[in-house]
């Protein structure tokens, strides 16, 4: 069920994107076109802390500034993608969605997304080039990169006698019986699989390289004692000291640091793995003008900066200013983003069931 966020409305600002239709005509005109004016926008976001953080960082202010009612639907990529695929580009249930890269790729391939016209979403031009390039086709950008999570190595500083520097350090004999590894059926596990393959010089499109990655993973068995597949279990295992190292996301680790846990984080020299959340507009969005305006608002340095401080993640707008506490820890900027490892979802997704089965066999059941 959709949830409506009711806030005290400030002055209703006239959007530069929404032009009042004349003579009862609400259709698009020539060129970039006039978009019909409506009074709401439906946005799909991840639930829990993510929902609370994005409301505080940007959605509440948008509603107050514009007078546009923001209707928030907490959910996940799979359900949202099924919905816009069923809509087929007409009468979509959502105006704005937050998607992961694999979902964006499928949506672009299915012609299910609106291009983000820079006239309507000028802040997209301030997103780092290496991010925009990921979602550009035929000159059009189809997703506004937002929160840049990066998978690296989380480790208990009080239990580990050295500071790991790269993925291969997890194979170090000093980690015997201390490592946690997630299954490829979980996003962190698939990203780790891609990170290992990149570290040994392989590519996901090569069956030989996939075989080589599994051969390398088989050598990690003596160090591995747990196979958690959700953030809560990973946090519990680290807190209890049942594992001392695991591939995990930077923002999650920084939050644990501020909660008082003796935990460190390494951006591996052989390539942290991108875990990017981005905003998209489905084709057939019923409140298109408001959707453009909202994505532009969420792509601003002010909103991204506020979300960064709440979530502990780096962001994608090059003009974001970070607190001293966060800037000392998170690696942000083109110099880092251009060297990230990105999962080749086009190559791996069709093989995911087989890869997961092989992973389970490699780790003797993975339980």
What ranges do the domains of the chain cover? 37-142+275-327, 151-272+340-362
Rounded CA-CA distance 117/211 in Å is 43
Can you tell me the mean pLDDT for 19-35? 42
What average pLDDT does range 276-280 have in this prediction?
A: 98
Is the confidence at residue 88, as pLDDT, over 90? yes
Residue with tokens 């509440």: 60
- How high does pLDDT run on average in the chain? 91
Ranking 4-8, 157-161, 292-296 by mean pLDDT, the lowest is: 4-8
Q: Cβ distance 132 to 145 under 8 Å? A: yes
Work out the average pLDDT over 98-110.
96
What's the pLDDT score for residue 18? 36
Give me 126's structure tokens: 């301030």
Contact 275, 343 (CB under 8 A): no
Question: Using one digit for the tens of pLDDT, what is the confidence trace for 299-347?
Answer: 999 999 999 999 999 999 999 999 999 999 999 999 999 999 999 999 9
Section 195-220 average pLDDT: 95
The set of residues, in sequence order, having a beta carbon less than 8 Å from that of 340 and lying 6+ positions away, is 130, 150, 271, 272, 273, 274
Rounded to an integer, the average pLDDT of 248-259 is: 97
> Tell me: the pLDDT tens digits for 145-193?
999 999 999 999 999 999 999 999 999 999 999 999 999 999 999 999 9
Q: Are 308 and 114 in contact (CB under 8 A)?
A: no
Class of domain 37-142+275-327: alpha beta
What angle do helix axes 187-199 and 207-218 make, rounded to 10 degrees? 100
- Answer whether 152's CB lies under 8 Å from 169's CB: no
CATH fold of 151-272+340-362 reads: D-Maltodextrin-Binding Protein; domain 2 (3.40.190)
pLDDT the model gives residue 12: 33
Structural contact between residues 94 and 287, judged by C-beta atoms closer than 8 angstroms: no
Note whether 37-142+275-327 and 151-272+340-362 share their fold: yes
**pLDDT for the residue numbered 287:** 97
pTM of the model: 0.88
Distance CA 240, CA 319 (A): 39
Residues in the chain: 367
């Amino acid at each position: 069920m959709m949830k409506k966020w009711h806030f005290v409305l400030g002055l209703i600002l006239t959007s530069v994107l929404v032009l009042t239709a004349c003579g009862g005509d609400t259709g698009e005109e020539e060129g970039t076109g006039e978009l019909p004016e409506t009074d709401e926008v439906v946005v799909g976001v991840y639930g829990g802390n993510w929902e609370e953080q994005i409301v505080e960082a940007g959605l509440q202010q948008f509603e107050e500034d514009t007078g546009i009612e923001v209707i928030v639907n907490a959910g996940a990529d799979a359900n949202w993608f099924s919905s816009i695929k069923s809509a087929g580009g007409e009468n979509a249930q959502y105006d704005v969605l937050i998607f992961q890269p694999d979902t964006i790729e499928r949506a672009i391939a299915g012609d299910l997304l609106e291009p983000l016209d820079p006239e309507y979403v000028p802040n997209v031009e301030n997103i780092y080039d290496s991010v925009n390039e990921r979602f550009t086709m035929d000159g059009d950008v189809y997703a506004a990169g937002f929160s840049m999570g990066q998978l690296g190595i989380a480790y208990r500083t009080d239990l580990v006698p050295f500071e790991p520097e790269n993925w291969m350090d997890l194979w170090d004999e000093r980690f015997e019986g201390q490592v946690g590894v997630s299954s490829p059926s979980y996003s962190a596990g698939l990203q780790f699989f891609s990170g290992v393959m990149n570290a040994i010089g392989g590519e996901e499109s090569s069956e030989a390289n996939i075989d080589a990655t599994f051969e390398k993973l088989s050598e990690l068995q003596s160090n591995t004692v747990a196979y958690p597949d959700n953030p809560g279990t990973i946090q519990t295992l680290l807190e209890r000291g049942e594992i001392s190292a695991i591939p995990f996301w930077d923002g999650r680790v920084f939050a644990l640091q501020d909660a008082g846990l003796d935990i460190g984080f390494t951006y591996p020299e052989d390539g942290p793995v991108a875990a990017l959340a981005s905003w998209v507009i489905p084709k057939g969005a019923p409140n298109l003008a408001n959707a453009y305006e909202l994505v532009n608002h969420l792509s601003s340095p002010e909103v991204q900066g506020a979300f960064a401080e709440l979530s502990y993640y780096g962001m994608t707008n090059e003009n974001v200013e970070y607190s001293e506490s966060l800037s000392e820890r998170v690696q942000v900027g083109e110099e880092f983003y251009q060297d990230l490892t990105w999962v080749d979802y086009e190559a791996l997704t069709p093989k995911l069931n087989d890869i997961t089965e092989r992973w389970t066999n490699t780790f003797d059941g993975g339980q």
